[in-house]
Amino acid sequence: MNINKPGVILITTLLIVMIMSVISIQISKKFFISIQREAYLDFKNQSYQVLLSAEAQAIKSIQKEIISSQAKLTNNDPIFRSLSFFLNDISKIQVDVVDGSNCFNLNNIFSATGNKFQIKSSNVEWLERLLRFKGLNDAEIESFIDQLIDWVDTDSQPLNYGAEDYFYMGPMSAINQFTPKRLLESISEIRNFPIMETLDFRDFSKNLCVVSGSSQQSININTLSSSHAILIAAFFDEKNLEFIESQISDAPEEGYNSIDLFTAKMTQLENNRLDVFAVNSRNFILTSRVYNETFSNELESLVILDNSNVAMVLNRNFSF
């Protein structure tokens, strides 16, 4: 074979060009990915500090607003309006504040006595009704509550539908730990319960929350919306959700000055547990987000103000 023929030389040249093109493309892709990854890491590292700064400024605004509106806090207060501003020519920051009180604190079914936990039966019944509104059947409800109690109580004896150390240390468990035997620190802890394998966490956790290490419950009637209807209906054992929604939407524009008028609209029966309601708030959820055309990072924080107006950040969830 004569390799000096023009056709052979042309084909060989084209093959070399094609191979070099493929190599060049692969190198370019790797280079681009490397540059993109470096830009992403820079954005991630810088944005975390930016989000912490935005969180701190939002907390100061909340503290000032609480001082000026000690009597009540309503949905019309300025702190609940979304704020956004440009960080630089390409990045933008947005901060949203919502009332963190209007949910069922899962720690609320317990009361601490020394190093032991007693069960508040009335609050367990409230939780049962709330879970029934969520569409859970009796077996699912009993499973969730038993597993919640076993997670917190100090013994190692499982309830009927509960789960103790034998499950969480077993081969079927991904967490491989003993039950903490304390109040919940975060709503994400319930992901460990066996029942959650059959439930959607995002949907299930609506109207549920955890106040870290606390069994206190305080619902601000002035910041309720239709999304809280099942929470209120479950408390009053009212099956007519439309009625509850109508009563929530019928709130005075300036808010309630006391809980009496609100609770009278819901029930005519005496209820000694109305101390769970309030006309102001001390718990807030801050969502700070920084983004540009390519990347975005978000920081969600649970902030609680004590009676001296000192802020405590109990939980921070950073997502990117």
Q: How many beta carbons lie within 10 A of that of residue 242, not counting itself?
A: 9
Question: What is the Cα–Cα distance from 273 to 107, expressed in whole angstroms?
Answer: 16
Do 148 and 230 lie in one domain? The reply is no
Domain span including residue 177:
106-208
DSSP string for 58-93: HHHHHHHHHHHT-S---TTSGGGS-EEEESSSS-EE
- pLDDT band (50, 70, 90) for residue 271: low
The pLDDT of 25-46, averaged and rounded, is 56
Q: Answer whether residue 19 is part of any domain.
A: no
State residue 117 phi and psi, 5-degree precision. -115, 125
The pLDDT of 209-237, averaged and rounded, is 93
Q: How many domains does the chain have?
A: 3
**Residue 181 has which token pair?**
């035997």
Chain mean pLDDT for the chain: 84
Q: For residue 178, what is the domain's CATH number?
A: 1.10.40.60
Q: Answer whether residue 42 is part of any domain.
A: no
pLDDT of residue 161: 93
Q: Is the separation of the CB atoms in 299 and 55 below 8 Å?
A: yes
Q: Answer whether residue 159 is part of any domain.
A: yes
Q: Answer whether residue 138 is part of any domain.
A: yes
* Terminal C-alpha separation, the chain: 61
Answer yes or no: is pLDDT of 38 > 60. no
Paired with 285 in beta bridges are 98, 302
- pLDDT band (50, 70, 90) for residue 40: low
Question: What is the Cα–Cα distance from 251 to 258, expressed in whole angstroms?
Answer: 12
Do 200 and 169 lie in one domain? The reply is yes
Sign of the torsion formed by the C-alpha atoms of 248, 252, 253 and 258: negative
Do 291 and 202 lie in one domain? The reply is no
Do 115 and 94 lie in one domain? The reply is no
Single pTM value for the model: 0.81
